[in-house]
A and B are shown apart, each in its own frame.
Chain A
Amino acid sequence: MVFRDKAKIMDVEQIDKTLTRIAHEIIEKNKDVENIALVGIRTRGAFLSERLAGKINDIKKKEVRVGILDITLYRDDLTTISEQPVVHKTEIDFDIQDKIIILVDDVLYSGRTIRCALDALIDFGRPQNIQLAVLIDRGHRELPIRADYVGKNIPTSLKEVVQVKIKEVDGIDEVMIQEKEN
């Protein structure tokens, strides 16, 4: 399938400002910063969670714990997709019991990834609560899931793809909308 770039939604500066805003919102909502832990969903959510943690550290001068979640083993489509996906490591080296967990992902779409992430997290213990931060919410939910912190809402059609590129993975920070070419 070929995708054609349609529009640039965010650039480096906008992504950075948006993450700064989300960091402030997280601090505003959760007075007890010491009890917060960020858990990023592989691959891009993991890097975004590290950037958010850096921003919270800058503002509050407190180290926020960061973990990485790989949701492959919890997917509900393992039996239907054509290739067995590669499993990567989950790295949560702190006890999540009674913590405030902020899940971080790049794009919120069907909500199925977040469902997997919730199941995976709860297998580690019982957090006080779980909140969700995403850079982009593109709609089209298939499950009753919503984000607590949204960088940008982008109404999309099902033919479109939202591509979040981040420096650590893609060499550049930007958000693009692409369209399938027929």
Chain B
Amino acid sequence: MAVTWVRKDLLGLEELSAEEIGLILETADSFKEISQRPIKKVPTLRGKTVVLFFFEPSTRTRTSFELAAKRMSADLVNIQTSASSLTKGETLKDTAKNIEAMKVDIIVMRHSSAGAPHLLAKAVSPSIINAGDDSHEHPTQGLLDLFTIKEHKKKIAGLNVSIIGDIAHSRVARSNIWGLTKLGAKVTICGPATLIPPDIERLGVKVTYDVKEAIEGADVINLLRIQLERQGQNLFPSLREYAIKFGLDSEKMKFAKKDVLIMHPGPINRGVEITPEVADGPYSVILEQVTNGIAVRMAVLYLVSGVRERKH
């Protein structure tokens, strides 16, 4: 492998080259086996401190990062925003400076403002890993989706991948689009017009409002969650109408290829974007995505920790 990892931070897939993404995926492949051992631990990050700094609720991503760090023997601190001094008026940067002053090595953060991790990456010396910044990027989710696709299809280049659902508010969609197009997949976006951002074609994707067209010929269908908390904005008439028009059910699955992969970043709204028969059906790899998330996050922690050391 010619490429070496030189980045202190992982902020998004937009700035990564295809080779860097490939390196993360190959490294993750080597880490996957560790979670299948009776003793799920290696000493690689012994003595390193990882801070999980989540400003938004998260179960999957936070637990996955926590397990990834612990399986590599790092020490871990969780900061809950409701209990942090940000509620006392401290700025984000000051809080981060204080965490830095405690000599931590890696900060994994999720924030409701796009670009917040980028701001901190410049302001403080620990590595910053973006675990989701508003509707912008969620790089480790994009990477674990790529990993899961590659594991099943043995390649990414040339595959037809359809992303169906709320594209406008989805950081998962953006990270997937960057990653997939860089690795040579053909990406189709589908959803109600109100949930498709204008100009999204500029990212090199095809847009269709016809769900049948998105399903036919797709090697992979990635369904995105309808964010129920946004229902007040009247982006579409009702959840029921969404489910009928865009929700993936056994009826619409008849248009799908025989070896299609059904993916979803979770949490799933059963009966909205996906019916239980499809979510639990033979084409679904939704829980494999969760398993692979740990290997991908271990790989990212390993790669950025090496860079940090060299700068000192």
A residues near B (Cβ < 8 Å) are 70, 73-74, 78-79, 82-84, 86-91, 119-120, 123-125
Contact = CB atoms under 8 A, between A and B. Distances in A.
The 4 closest A-B pairs by CB, nearest first: A84-B306, A73-B42, A73-B44, A87-B30
Contact of A82 (B1, B37, B39, B310): B310
B232 interface: no
A113 B211 CA distance: 55
Given A89-B30, A91-B33, A84 B303 contact: yes
Interface string B34-45: 100111011110
A123 B33 contact: no
Nearest to B3: A86
B80 to A, nearest CB: 31
A73 B33 CA distance: 13
Contacts of A120: 42
B37 A124 contact: yes
17 contacts: A70-B30, A73-B42, A73-B43, A74-B44, A78-B44, A79-B309, A83-B306, A84-B4, A84-B303, A86-B23, A86-B26, A89-B33, A90-B30, A90-B33, A119-B43, A124-B39, A125-B38
B302 A84 contact: yes
A10 B62 CA distance: 54
Interface string B278-312: 00000000000000000000010011001101100
Most buried by B among A73, A79, A82, A125: A73
Most buried by B among A78, A120, A125: A78
A124 B30 CA distance: 16
Contact of B1 (A70, A78, A86, A90): A86
A73 to B, nearest CB: 4
Contact of A124 (B4, B31, B38): B38
Interface residues of B, number: 26
A102 B1 CA distance: 30
Interface in B1-51: 1, 4-5, 23, 26-27, 29-31, 33-34, 37-39, 41-44
B310 to A, nearest CB: 7
A83 B4 contact: yes
Given A87-B299, A88-B30, 7 more contacts: A73-B44, A73-B302, A78-B44, A84-B307, A86-B27, A119-B43, A124-B38
A47 B225 CA distance: 47
Nearest to B23: A86
Nearest to B72: A73
B3 to A, nearest CB: 10
B5 A84 contact: yes
B27 A87 contact: yes
Contacts of A78: 44, 306, 309
A62 to B, nearest CB: 26
B31 A87 contact: yes
B11 to A, nearest CB: 18
A73 B71 CA distance: 11
Contacts of B34: 90
A119 to B, nearest CB: 7
Contacts of A91: 33
